Amino acid sequence: MADDAAALAQRLQQWADGKATLKEVRGYSDEELYSIARTGYYFFYQGKVAEARTVFQGLYAINPMDAYFAKALGVVEMAAGNPAGAVAAYDVAIKIAPQDAAAYLGRAEVKLLQGQKAQALDDLRRAQQFSAPESPESSKVSAMLQALSKK
């Protein structure tokens, strides 16, 4: 029992020092966290944006090194009417995974809605650079770039 308490105290200290995530402290598996993410996804698609936001904020707090949770939080923040929060979440996702086309695409969408066309175009070009040719992101990026070039 004392060994368990000492190990937990050590993991908590590592977390406090910024050397571990809550995922590591609590011993959560990726499978467990992605199962929770599915619940957030279902909330979102049922129009329960506040509940989805809570789920993805929690997942991001537990594992801030997972770009998927940051991107999902970006989507939910935008749906909740918080474009600054959405951009911040996409910024984190890009920092974690700098070649993630979906993160650049999501941030571009938010920036377009904020009237920041030049910045959105930069992000769309990056998304194009990193997206696989036949991916859904690639098609969407191409369509958006084509539409923006006509304006």
pLDDT given for residue 5 in this prediction: 72
Q: Which residue has the higher pLDDT, 84 or 149?
A: 84
Count of C-beta atoms within a 10 Å radius of residue 27: 9
What's the pLDDT tens digit per position in 25-71?
778 899 999 999 999 999 999 999 999 999 999 999 999 999 999 99
| 121, amino acid identity | L
